[in-house]
Amino acid sequence: MKKFILIFLILPFMSICQVDTINNTNSSPNSDIYELVSKYKRIIKNKNTNWKLQIKFTSKRSDIVPYKIKFNNLYPEISTSIIFESPYYKLLAGDFKTKNEALKIRNIIKTNFPAAHPIKYEN
């Protein structure tokens, strides 16, 4: 008799332990998470990564200007710009969507500018 009473007392607890809790999760949408995801998507969408050719870099701006003049005389159809990234001035040329486009132009100009190489440039 004691065994039956013990079984009837333990049996309900055992059935509670077997309850599936996976389907009882609270899946209410959290607006903060959606806001962060949308903010991340905006940042990624606005971040433009292009490729440019780095023609020359030096610590003095006066040293880089003759290279810009020479490049503009030889290749007037390719835009150039001098940017300052501490401690160097860099002469960048072109604006390419892919690295392959930059490499094609590099192969054209490498006879006059052998040190030119493609770099990622983020606006």
pLDDT exceeds cutoff 80 at 48 = no
Percentage of residues of the chain with pLDDT beyond 90: 54
pLDDT grade for 22, boundaries at 50, 70 and 90: low
Global pTM reads 0.61
DSSP states along 51-96: EEEEEEEES-HHHHHHHHHHHHHH-TTS-EEEEEETTEEEEEEEEE
Q: Please tell me the number of Cα atoms within 13 Å of 90 on its side-chain side.
A: 16
Per residue in 56-73, pLDDT (tens digit) is 999 999 999 999 999 999
Q: What is the rounded distance in angstroms from the CA atom of residue 63 to the CA atom of residue 59?
A: 8
Q: Which residue has the tokens 């003049």?
A: 69
Q: Was domain 56-122 assigned CATH 3.30.70?
A: yes
* Tally of CB atoms within 10 A around 89: 19
